[in-house]
Amino acid sequence: MTDRLRLEAEILSLRTKHPFRIARHEHHEVRTVLVRLRDGDDLEGWGEAAPQVYYGETPETVLAALNLYATALPEDPLDLEEAERRLATVLAGNPSARAALSAALHDLAGKRLGAPVHRLWGLDPMKAPISTFTIGIDTADRIRMKVREAEEYPVLKVKLGAANDLEILQAIRDETDKELRVDANGGWTRKQAIRMLPVLEDHGVTVLEQPLPPKDLDGLAEVSRRSPIPVIVDESCLVAADIPPLVGRVDGINIKLAKCGSLREALRMIEIAHAHHLMVMVGCMVETSVGITAAAQITPLVDIADLDGAALLAHDPFVGATLEGGQLRLPRGPGLGVSKR
Ligand code: MG
């Protein structure tokens, strides 16, 4: 550990309002890791790791990785590029652990300079888009109830890739004619996806996310070619280097800090994707307002957002970026602008 920056980390146990089910798993409790970096002036930078077993991480691996990363932190939190280079050298992988440190360093840098992170990047917070609100896989009755509960959100994202996909779509349309996006989390085969395309169109779905397993890029290209609506990928695109093979195959990417490992990598992904005319979405995991607000800093640059992770919690211990009627609002305070509730 350096003389200047002290790192503390703790596991947060978070309950979701409803059991949260997607194509590959279901959970009611989520564990994330809160990271605090304190400098010599006693300013504190916060970050959150939202580890996913799917990407090889657990809260325990995050804590172990943070122990190693703590030995490589820069002395000056403003050395953000150098920080990334060092972390990548010390230990590869562990993207959510590195993302938490990246957020904490940016928070600290912003607090030092007295400006919100998005302002340091020259971004206009009024350009942050509306966020979708996610409806997990469920029975038709519970879907109808969740749609009623999500009344304030103008755009819904529904998880499919279940045995009752048609029933879910119908249950949503029984309740609302809101804009609807679909995320299959890689849960369909090529045949199923192609069969679903006209159904999605009939139900007024405007974006289809990750219809096929992540490695099936040729299948994704085929589905995109046949699809009347844009097809974007999430699990197929973790970091900037994953973008070139996707060009010409799909219509967009979903960026998440827990996959790409840092705010700066997220910015690089946005630039590369836009240079290739790909649509850019920013997404999240189920996490508190610390992680959500870190991701929210880049939203003035993206086309669509799905940052409802904290809104799915029964209790969020932090206050940061908010969703008022679905509209993302970035806090004005320095750094990430997050405080304890
Ligand atoms: Mg997704």
Task: Using alpha carbons, list the distances in angstroms from residue 246 to 192, 224, 236, 273, 302.
Answer: 21, 11, 9, 10, 18
Q: What is the pLDDT of residue 28?
A: 86
d(CA 330, CA 215): 35
> For residue 13, how far is its CA from the centre of ligand 1 (angstroms)?
22
Residues 284-340 have pLDDT tens digits of 999 999 999 999 999 999 999 999 999 999 999 999 999 999 999 999 999 999 999
Q: What is the pLDDT of residue 21?
A: 81
Q: What is the pLDDT of residue 166?
A: 97
Average pLDDT score over residue span 12-39: 89
Rg (CA), the chain: 19
Longest alpha-carbon distance in the chain = 61
> For residue 38, how far is its CA from the centre of ligand 1 (angstroms)?
33
* Residues having C-beta closer than 5 Å to ion ligand 1: 183, 234
| CB-based contacts of 259-263 (< 8 A; 24+ apart in sequence) | 259/55, 259/95, 260/95, 260/99, 261/94, 261/95, 261/96, 261/98, 261/99, 261/102, 262/84, 262/98, 262/99, 262/102, 263/99, 263/102, 263/103, 263/106, 263/117, 263/294, 263/297, 263/298
Using DSSP bridges, classify how beta strands 252-255 and 279-282 pair: parallel, antiparallel or unpaired.
parallel
Domains of the chain by start residue, with CATH: 6-114 (3.30.390.10), 120-340 (3.20.20.120)
Q: What is the pLDDT of residue 3?
A: 57
> For residue 32, how far is its CA from the centre of ligand 1 (angstroms)?
18
Residues 116-138 have pLDDT tens digits of 999 999 999 999 999 999 999 99
Helix (H, G, I), strand (E, B) or coil at 328: strand
> For residue 113, how far is its CA from the centre of ligand 1 (angstroms)?
35
> For residue 233, how far is its CA from the centre of ligand 1 (angstroms)?
7
> For residue 284, how far is its CA from the centre of ligand 1 (angstroms)?
8
> For residue 235, how far is its CA from the centre of ligand 1 (angstroms)?
7
Residues 80-101 have pLDDT tens digits of 999 999 999 999 999 999 999 9
Average pLDDT score over residue span 222-244: 98
Q: What is the pLDDT of residue 1?
A: 40
Q: What is the pLDDT of residue 2?
A: 44
> For residue 27, how far is its CA from the centre of ligand 1 (angstroms)?
16
Look up the pTM and report it.
Answer: 0.96
Using DSSP bridges, classify how beta strands 44-49 and 26-38 pair: parallel, antiparallel or unpaired.
antiparallel
Residue 220 confidence (pLDDT) above 90: yes
d(CA 123, CA 119): 5
CB-CB contact of 153 with 133 (8 Å): yes
> For residue 70, how far is its CA from the centre of ligand 1 (angstroms)?
31
Residues 51-65 have pLDDT tens digits of 999 999 999 999 999
**High-pLDDT (> 70) share of the chain, %:** 99
Residues 170-190 have pLDDT tens digits of 999 999 999 999 999 999 999
Q: C-alpha angle with apex 337: 335 to 339, nearest 5 degrees?
A: 125
Average pLDDT score over residue span 8-36: 90
Q: What is the pLDDT of residue 148?
A: 97
Indicate the average pLDDT of the chain. 96
CB-CB contact of 339 with 319 (8 Å): yes
Residue 275 confidence (pLDDT) above 60: yes
> For residue 82, how far is its CA from the centre of ligand 1 (angstroms)?
31
Helix (H, G, I), strand (E, B) or coil at 130: strand
Residue 236 confidence (pLDDT) above 80: yes
